[in-house]
């Protein structure tokens, strides 16, 4: 059992919320240390570990393509 194992996840479609989107989720285990010492006021902290989501399918309910689903999920900060 590897620590970097892929997880198969199913997300609800962001458009119709009925369809199931098949995704692969790879947890961002590696901590990338970048120079974040300079404080950037009002810029929001991006301190989430870098998870990787791979959208594998479009919506089987409303027919949105996987590119559209992925864009929407990213916009909604789901992935």
Q: Which stretches of the chain bind Zn ion, using CB under 5 A?
A: 13, 15-16, 19, 59, 61-62
CA–CA separation, 11 vs 17, rounded Å?
9
The answer for residues whose C-beta is within 8 angstroms of residue 47's C-beta and 6 or more apart is 36
Give the nearer residue to Zn ion in terms of CB position, either 26 or 71: 71
Nearest-approach distance from CB 70 to Zn ion, in angstroms: 13
Dihedral sign (CA 69, 70, 76, 78)? positive
Nearest-approach distance from CB 24 to Zn ion, in angstroms: 19
Give the nearer residue to Zn ion in terms of CB position, either 11 or 26: 11
Give the nearer residue to Zn ion in terms of CB position, either 13 or 55: 13
Tell me if residue 55 falls in helix, strand or coil. Answer: strand
């Amino acid at each position: 059992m590897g620590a970097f194992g892929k997880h198969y996840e199913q997300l609800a479609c962001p458009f119709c919320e009925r369809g199931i989107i098949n995704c692969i989720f790879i947890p961002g285990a590696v901590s990338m240390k970048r120079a974040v010492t300079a404080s950037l006021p009002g810029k929001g902290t991006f301190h989430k570990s870098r998870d990787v989501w791979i959208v594998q399918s479009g919506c089987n309910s409303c027919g949105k393509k996987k590119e559209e689903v992925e864009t929407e999920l990213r916009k909604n900060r789901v992935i």
